[in-house]
Chains A and B, each alone.
Chain A
């Protein structure tokens, strides 16, 4: 008789299999489950087996995201349940680029929140120290580079989608455009409410135009330490609170849609090489921004406008992680695009 709490081998195998991504399960799931059942029947309790399966699942998921060379792509010549683009080198490069784009979006959101805080401060008074000034110049140059690179990256993909050469991307394209529209319209709306945009007597004395600073501030309003202070948050106007909750969802929708479009668009090897080059350039821009942000935090500038807080230190950690993953994805994309 089975002891209480002990699952049947098949149920345990099915549970362990969930660690692997769907595409991997479609290809190897049945046979892998059979192996797991046999192994569980022979060795009912094995922590090392569980740890090994979890590790294998994580590796497979990283491979599916184009972040490592795991063999989840299989043999392109073999008929199977995996869609052809996902199993080809081009599909793998597309996945790497999509992951790189997601990392760049996280970097832009967190870095944008940090940068907007500083550019907003500069609207009122220039930073008092050379260190902060140089740091802000580096961060601003990097932000400009990232914006240009993002526009260049979108162009060939948008062209292919608009020309109808990428079937199956209608849904993700709509998701991307809807998310982008919400961010732009909401960012403009709440940015216009910021005093520096119109009511400020010197709206153009800062490093960037007041409207740009206000838009950056409004579109990254959700990246805030106020979440840790509910009492202070409660004093916010309801529309602003709603925007703080909605805007991350809109960004997530836009990024998810864009990533799906890149993975499914079936870009040519030439375009993939171009996008990979842009991705590597984006990594360089992110590294420049991170260096500037570190310099600013380490400068410990006096005054409320330029003084870094704990959230900025946490932001540096997020930026470093996003850059590390983006760099890994760029390396994988480059290897696949050769």
Chain B
């Protein structure tokens, strides 16, 4: 497994970087299986990840060591964040917050508060 800095860990995900961030955010409050992930992400982000996209991102996250499967007797296997995954998510969200802060500040300067 290649060790990459947390803020670069999702760089190689390409079009799966968005789904990967959503999955990591969903797993931040505990382990979830595929369907629970789909419903949770739909509730907090308004995005429904299709099954193929979800598992593509899950497989990549697992290969990067950002999530790990949890032992289960159920046919639905839950996944949980790893320590590296938590650090990566924190770095990713901080970067997104910086973008959001800059955008909101400039909007306020140019367009005023709505």
Binding site for B on A (CB under 8 A): 24, 28, 30-36, 38-39, 48-49, 52-57, 59-60, 69-78
Contact = CB atoms under 8 A, between A and B. Distances in A.
A34 B58 CA distance: 15
A77 B62 CA distance: 11
A78 B59 CA distance: 13
Contact of A71 (B34, B52, B53, B56): B56
Contacts of B58: 28, 71
B43 to A, nearest CB: 14
Nearest to B67: A75
Contact of B75 (A31, A52, A70, A73): A31
Contact of B63 (A31, A53, A74): A74
Contacts of B50: 48-49, 52-53
A75 B1 contact: yes
Q: Is the interface of A mostly helix, strand, loop or mixed?
A: helix
Contacts of B77: 30-31
B35 A55 contact: no
Contact of A75 (B35, B51, B53, B62): B62
Interface string B49-78: 011111110111111110011000001110
A34 B35 contact: yes
Contacts, number: 82
A24 B62 CA distance: 13
B38 A39 contact: yes
A76 B1 contact: yes
Given A39-B51, A52-B50, A75 B60 contact: no
For A31, A36, A49, A76, the residue with the greatest tally of chain B CB atoms inside 10 Å of its CB is A31
B33 interface: yes
Nearest 6 CB-CB pairs, A to B?
A56-B52, A71-B59, A52-B50, A35-B34, A71-B60, A71-B63
B51 A53 contact: yes
A34 B50 CA distance: 14
Interface residues of B, number: 26
A231 B13 CA distance: 54
Contacts of A70: 56, 59-60
Nearest to B49: A52
A28 B38 contact: no
A35 B56 contact: no
Contact of B53 (A34, A52, A76): A52
B1 to A, nearest CB: 7
B46 interface: no
A56 B1 CA distance: 23
Contacts of A75: 1, 62-63, 65, 68
A32 B50 CA distance: 11
Nearest to A13: B51
A38 B35 contact: yes
A301 B63 CA distance: 54
Contacts of A78: 68-69
A28 B12 contact: no
Contacts of B53: 52, 56
A124 B105 CA distance: 79
Contacts of A32: 34, 51, 55
A28 B53 CA distance: 13
A57 B60 contact: no
A53 B1 CA distance: 27
A291 to B, nearest CB: 31
Nearest to A49: B50
Contacts of A57: 52
A31 B72 CA distance: 11
